[in-house]
Amino acid sequence: MKRILFVDDETMILDGLKRSLHSQRQAWDMKFVTSGNDALSAMAVEPFDVVVTDMKMPNMNGAELLGHIKDRHPRTVRIVLSGHADMEAAMRSVSVSHQFLAKPCDAGALISVVHRACNLESLLREPSLQEALGSIVELPVLPRVYKALTVALAKEDVDIREVGGIVEQDAAIAAKILQLVNSAFFGLGREIVDLRQATAYLGATTIRDLVLSFEMFREFEGAVKYSGFSVEREQSHSLLTARVARRLLDDKLAADQAFLAAMLHDVGKLVLATRLGEPFQKILRAGAGIERPFHKVEEEILGVSHAEIGAYLLGLWGMSYPVVEAVAYHHHPGRVEGQSEFGVLGATHVSDFLVREHDESLSDAVELDEQFLQALGVAEKLTEWRAIVAEEVGAEHEIA
């Protein structure tokens, strides 16, 4: 049974939550407290799987509470449920929470968010890995991208299209911006998966707050020192893979989701490089000089691969299910049951394979699931898709 802790200084709010969540009493062990101190005391006795807290509370606000929980109980999923959706509150919550929900919140929506958070354990069952990933609220940015973004944001007449183009070049910035724009803070009522659209919606001021004032993104340091691993090369591969994936689907929403999933498909490697340095070096050493997919070496050493690690983190951050699923299974699309058409997962898998096939400098070979493509009736499109890769590579060289 999952343990869920609800924190709000208004007893009427808590009473309302008790009534609306009554149907979950067989699945959840729920506790309701009226202060941050009471929440920490309860967690000291026995940690909770999920904490849902208000932001504006006396003595200890929600951001401060979640900061303590992040440090003491990193495996706990941290969710803000607040009626005070001002920019300052949103920024504070981004630095310590996984997701942001706005009051009033439909009981069904709250139940869905909590269930999805709890179900992420199926991707990553190792407690030490859950703990390491649970503490992550930001990822480092490539120095080249960070500098380009700060220069663009420092201009008096900021060109938001230029900012959007820079954002598309870095998985860390992309993930955090999409996490914010799709949070309940903005109450859009629809999901935004197009990065340039998300950047335009947030505007230069909010982006500047994220990147500069709150230091959500830090320049990459650790992974560039690893022999046999280049962050620049990985990011370049991800961006090219994303451009190819977008072109493999006709539906606009699916194409945008495929772009995002392909851009983030290897974000688990960045997590490994920055947060799990010792096992990552072991993986690099074990995989050096052998023609075997990198993810298989990871599975032998860690029990999981960067695919599951990346998907777990993105799921915590509230990314849409098609994106999380595509990241989790981009090496093994056939493991997902019930697929009747070539979609986001298929486009991510195929584009990753074809881009790596085209670029001999990428040592991490992957395998194409031909049985999966044949089952969906699209195997004959490989020649057409290889031509798309060649076109995108040519366009990339022209820009360079």
One DSSP character per residue, 56-113 reads --SSS-HHHHHHHHHHH-TTSEEEEEES---HHHHHHHHTT-SEEEESS--HHHHHHH
Within a 10 A sphere around the Cβ of 109, how many other Cβ atoms? 11
Helix (H, G, I), strand (E, B) or coil at 146: helix
Residue 346: what pLDDT?
96
Residue 398's pLDDT band, with cuts at 50, 70 and 90, is low
- Whole-structure pTM value: 0.70
Mean of the pLDDT values across residues 217-236? 65
| Distance between CA atoms of residues 238 and 263, nearest Å | 5
Least confident of 39-48, 74-83, 380-389: 74-83
Q: What percent of the chain has pLDDT over 70?
A: 84
| Tens digit of each residue's pLDDT (9 = 90 or more) over 330-372 | 999 998 877 888 999 999 999 999 998 887 666 567 889 999 9
Check residue 83 and give its pLDDT: 74
Coil, helix or strand for 300?
A: helix
User: Residues 102, 83: contact at Cβ < 8 Å?
Assistant: yes
- CA 242-248-250 angle, to 5 degrees, is 115
Local structure of residue 350 (DSSP, 8 states): H
Residue 137 CA: distances (Å) to CA of 89, 146, 161, 214, 315 = 16, 17, 26, 12, 12
Beta bridge partners of 78: 51
Q: Is the pLDDT of residue 188 over 70?
A: no
24-28, 57-61, 266-270: range with lowest mean pLDDT: 266-270
Element (H, E) at 7: strand 2-7
Give Cα 389 to chain centroid, integer Å. Answer: 25
Do the strands 99-102 and 50-53 form a parallel or antiparallel pair, or are they unpaired?
Answer: unpaired
The structural domains of the chain, ordered by start, are 2-122 (3.40.50.2300), 143-213 (no CATH), 223-399 (1.10.3210.10)
Q: Angle at the Cα of 212 (from 88 to 170), degrees rounded to 5?
A: 110
Quickly state the pLDDT bin for 163 (edges 50, 70, 90).
confident
Q: What pLDDT sits at residue 43?
A: 95
Q: What is the mean pLDDT of the chain?
A: 82
Tell me the pLDDT tens digit for each residue of 281-314: 888 888 776 677 888 989 899 888 999 988 888 8
